[in-house]
Amino acid sequence: MIKAKYPTAAVFLPATHTLNAMQKAVQGCRGCDLYKFATQAVFGEGPNHAPLMMVGEQPGNEEDFQGHPFVGPAGKLLNTALEEAGIPRSEVYVTNAVKHFKFEERGKRRIHKKPSAVEVSACQPWLEAEISAVKPHVVVCLGATAAQSLMGRKFRLTQHRGEFFDHPWGPRVSATIHPSAVLRAPDSEERHREFQHFVEDLRGVRDVLKTLAR
């Protein structure tokens, strides 16, 4: 059991959990300390009732400045992979397990820092409310942080990558790597391999979506 120093985001959620109301209210979230350093909170975006929701870790440097999820390099790679897998990007709702960018300043650069388990858990009410508003058929966790937020801290991506689980919040849930892991591959050969494997996972998602749409 994680002991939170904060009340969690739960008390900052608006009375009605519509995406519009939550998008506004999230700017006032003080559920953990990350709001103190980030430019703004970055809420999820996409069609109101998208069949597919993808959950990343947290906004990156670019997302923090622009206020939109997955608009930086990882988002661009995700768009290419979705296209290769035959999933229309316009039908995907994208969000993050944590709504504020966590970083460390190194000179003029802001280097991504992994959110702590307490921060992930504090932010969970936003994610749960987003899932219950959008009601996606499938949620894909991109990377271990998102996967553990939804599937619990014992969930191991390396063991369960590409599998599908029923989730108490409604959707089928699967997990794959984060697109930034592809970008971090040490050389172009490895990057290509990682990218193809990522696309394979997304093809699996496309197939499950097709069966659920029937």
CB of 33 to ligand URA, least distance (A): 19
Structural Rg of the chain based on CA atoms: 16
Task: Tell me the C-alpha distance between 145 and 190, whole Å.
Answer: 23
b/e 107-137 (16+ beta carbons within 10 angstroms → b): eeebebeebeebbbbbbbbbbbbbbebbebb
Pick the piece of the chain touching ligand URA (CB under 6 A) from 16-24, 52-60, 129-137, 199-207.
52-60
Check residue 70 for interaction with ligand URA (CB under 6 A): yes
Residues 164-193 that bind ligand URA (CB under 6 A): 180
What is the amino acid identity at position 120?
Answer: V
User: Does the protein bind ligand URA through residue 136 (CB under 6 A)?
Assistant: no
Q: Cα-flanking dihedrals φ and ψ of residue 101, to 5°? A: -75, 130
Site for ligand URA contains 75 (CB under 6 A): yes
The minimum distance between CB 16 and ligand URA, in angstroms, equals 25
Give me the least distance between CB of 97 and ligand URA, in Å please: 8
Q: Is 63 in the site for ligand URA (CB under 6 A)?
A: yes
At closest approach, how far in Å is the CB of 112 from ligand URA? 8
Residues in the chain: 214
Interface with ligand URA, residue 64, by CB under 6 A: no
Distance, in Å, from the CA atom of 106 to the CA atom of 42, rounded to the nearest integer, reads 23
Residue type, 52: L
CA distance 46 to 91: 7
Q: Which is nearer to ligand URA, 75 or 125 (CB)?
A: 75
User: Would you say 174 or 180 has its CB closer to ligand URA?
Assistant: 180
Tell whether residue 56 is a contact of ligand URA (CB under 6 A): yes
Interacting span for ligand URA (CB under 6 A) from 20-28, 63-71, 156-164, 205-213: 63-71
Q: How far is residue 20's CA from residue 2's CA, in Å, rounded to a whole number?
A: 30
* 142 Ramachandran zone, left/alpha/beta (phi>0; psi -120 to 50): beta
Candidates 74, 147, 182, 199: give the one binding ligand URA (CB under 6 A).
Answer: 74
Q: Is 96 in the site for ligand URA (CB under 6 A)?
A: yes
57 binds ligand URA (CB under 6 A): yes
Determine the straight-line distance between the first and last CA of the chain, rounded to whole angstroms: 40
Instruction: Return residues touching ligand URA (CB under 6 A).
Output: 56-60, 63, 69-70, 72, 74-75, 96, 180
